[in-house]
């Protein structure tokens, strides 16, 4: 599946989870339920993926911790907050840049309408590199 196809699957499954549970729960609950749905759809993913971080050519002891990475293509950053903040978008963009993934979904489950909590985040840098290659 392409990143866009995976994103459609995630939005569909996220909507299913949101309809069943509603807003107001912990992020970890939504993450666990979404993982359950992804398994049912045979989508491969890494949960709480810990990836290496390099700085100035050196491998750091610290690791990048990402909520979900689907099929090594799509990053999911899940939230259950009253309002997304600019730092949430910045964090997601940093994950995209460091992993060289092209697309992420920043999803806030703490909304009355699920569609208001879904945000596509595109790694413009990677997209431009692939267009020139």
Stretch 7-26: mean pLDDT: 98
Burial 105-133 (b: 16+ CB within 10 A, else e): bbbbbbbeebeebbbebebeebeeeeeee
65 in Cβ contact with 31 (< 8 Å): no
pLDDT value at residue 126:
57
Strands 103-108 and 74-79 come out as parallel
pLDDT reading at 131 higher than 50: no
- Mean per-residue pLDDT for 103-130? 88
Query: Does the structure show a pLDDT above 90 at 94?
Result: yes
Query: Which pLDDT score is estimated for 133?
Result: 46
Q: Where are the domains of the chain?
A: 3-132
pLDDT tens string 45-90:
999 999 999 999 999 999 999 999 999 999 999 999 999 999 999 9
pLDDT tops 50 at residue 16: yes
């Amino acid at each position: 599946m392409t990143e866009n196809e995976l994103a459609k699957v995630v939005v569909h499954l996220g909507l299913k989870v949101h309809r069943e549970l509603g807003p107001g729960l912990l992020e970890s609950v939504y993450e666990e339920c979404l993982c359950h749905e992804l398994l049912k759809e045979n989508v491969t993913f890494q949960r709480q993926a810990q990836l290496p971080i390099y700085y100035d050519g050196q491998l750091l002891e610290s690791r990048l911790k990402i909520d979900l990475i689907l099929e090594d293509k799509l990053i999911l950053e899940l939230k259950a907050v009253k309002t997304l903040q600019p730092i949430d978008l910045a964090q997601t963009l940093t994950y995209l840049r460091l992993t060289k993934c092209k697309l992420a979904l920043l999803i806030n489950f703490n909304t009355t309408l699920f569609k208001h909590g879904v945000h596509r985040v595109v790694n413009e840098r990677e997209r431009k590199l692939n267009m020139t290659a």
